[in-house]
Amino acid sequence: MLWVNLIYLIPPLIVVFTTHYGVPETGILHRNPLIRLPEFAAGILLYTFYAQQRDAGRSMSPSRQLLALLGVAASIAAALFLLGRGHAWYYLLHDGLLLPGAVDAGLRGRAVG
> Which stretch of 47-51, 88-92, 100-104 has the lowest confidence by average pLDDT?
100-104
Closest by alpha carbon to 104, among 76, 78, 68?
68
In this prediction, residue 112 carries a pLDDT of 42
Extents of the domains making up the chain:
2-108
Q: What is the pLDDT of residues 9-48, one digit of tens each?
A: 888 888 888 887 778 888 888 888 888 888 888 888 888 8
- Greater confidence (108 vs 81) lies with 81
Query: How far is it, in rounded angstroms, from Cα 92 to Cα 46?
Result: 22
Per-residue confidence band for 111, with pLDDT thresholds at 50, 70 and 90: very low
